[in-house]
Chain A
Amino acid sequence: KQEVTQIPAALSVPEGENLVLNCSFTDSAIYNLQWFRQDPGKGLTSLLLIQSSQREQTSGRLNASLDKSSGRSTLYIAASQPGDSATYLCAVKETSGSRLTFGEGTQLTVNP
């Protein structure tokens, strides 16, 4: 059974700092990996999706990498801002059409 773990569970940083969020998964035979953002009391917003054949994806200040062989992904946030404060979740899909398995998320606070 696929298990997804995110470390740390919570992170507090000063504004402007570059930071890395970690995601690990137990079964490396994945179809894709997706990073989401969740604001308090809101739904999930997709940030980046990395297909199994890709090594990384970038969107603005966000960069996600994928190392299937080691079962790891990282989300890099450059020059963090208070507006980046949210919970970040990663999820893996094992085959096309199968369900997503989610990690429990990292709660990020960026202090002004």
Chain B
Amino acid sequence: NAGVTQTPKFQVLKTGQSMTLQCAQDMNHNSMYWYRQDPGMGLRLIYYSASEGTTDKGEVPNGYNVSRLNKREFSLRLESAAPSQTSVYFCASIIQGPDTQYFGPGTRLTVL
């Protein structure tokens, strides 16, 4: 049981490049989330997926797209990276009922 896994762990991009951050969970959770964490800003929700086949915008969705590929996987895509997207990105999944969130180890992204 690996919990929530994220790839890659580190990434450096040039402005305008695109990339996809991958997230997978093996806990059979319905809901999955993408957050970014920035100094002085805390964690902010980018997108979430309440269940397979559905996605919704969070607090800061501009510049991002997501895909809920199946129940296990939820990917985050940057189509044209900007320096303002330099951040640490966390994926999380949630078990309904107690609503406890489980987080992945994060992806540290730098956009030059």
**Which A residues are closer than 8 A to B by beta carbons?**
31-32, 34, 36, 41-46, 49, 51, 89, 91, 93, 96-97, 99-100, 102-105
Contacts A97-B31, A99-B48: A45 and B103 contacting too (C-beta < 8 A)? yes
Establish whether residues B99 and A105, one from each chain, have CB atoms under 8 Å apart when the complex forms.
no
Contacts of A93 in B (CB 8 A): 99
Residue in contact with A43 in the complex, picked from B41, B90, B96, B99, CB distance below 8 Å? B90
Contacts of B4 in A (CB 8 A): 43
Closest chain B CB from A106 CB (angstroms): 12
Bitwise, B67-110 to A at CB < 8 A (1) or not (0) is 00000000000000000000000101000101111111110000
For the complex, give the distance between the alpha carbons of A102 and B48 in Å. 15
Contacts A103-B42, A104-B42: A96 and B99 contacting too (C-beta < 8 A)? yes
Establish whether residues B50 and A43, one from each chain, have CB atoms under 8 Å apart when the complex forms.
no
Question: Interface size on B (CB < 8 Å)?
Answer: 25
Closest 9 CB pairs of A and B: A43-B103, A44-B103, A102-B43, A104-B42, A43-B105, A102-B42, A99-B45, A43-B106, A49-B100
Closest chain B CB from A2 CB (angstroms): 11
Establish whether residues A46 and B42, one from each chain, have CB atoms under 8 Å apart when the complex forms.
no
Q: Does B40 lie at the interface of the complex (its beta carbon under 8 Å from any beta carbon of A)?
A: yes
Give A104's nearest chain B residue, CB to CB.
B42
Give A45's nearest chain B residue, CB to CB.
B103
Closest chain A CB from B108 CB (angstroms): 8
Q: Does B58 lie at the interface of the complex (its beta carbon under 8 Å from any beta carbon of A)?
A: yes
